[in-house]
Homo-oligomer: A and B are copies of this chain.
Amino acid sequence: MVQIKMTTHLLGANELLANKNRRLFEEKGMLVINLMSSPGAGKTTILERTIEMLSGKIRIGVIEGDLYTDQDAVRIGNKGIDVIQINTEGACHLDAGMVGKAFEQLPNSELDLLFIENVGNLVCPAEFDLGEDYRAVVLSTVEGNDKPMKYPLIFHQARAVLLNKTDLLPYTDFDLDRFREDLVRINPSAEVFEVSGRTGEGIEDWLQWLLEEVKKKQLLR
Contacts and interface: CB of A to CB of B under 8 A. Distances in A.
Q: What range describes how many residues of A lie at the interface?
A: 35 or more
Given A3-B3, A69-B149, A140 B92 contact: no
B142 A39 contact: no
A153 B6 contact: no
A80 interface: no
Contact of A122 (B1, B8, B120, B146): B120
Given A4-B7, A38-B143, A142-B142, 19 more contacts: A1-B11, A3-B11, A4-B6, A4-B8, A6-B6, A38-B120, A39-B143, A40-B147, A67-B150, A67-B152, A69-B150, A71-B150, A120-B151, A121-B121, A124-B124, A140-B142, A142-B168, A168-B168, A168-B171
A121 B151 CA distance: 11
A132 B144 CA distance: 28
B171 A66 contact: no
Interface string A11-46: 100000000000000000000000000111100000
A92 B124 contact: yes
A3 B168 CA distance: 36
Interface string A150-183: 1111000000000001011001110000000000
A149 to B, nearest CB: 6
Interface in A51-86: 66-69, 71
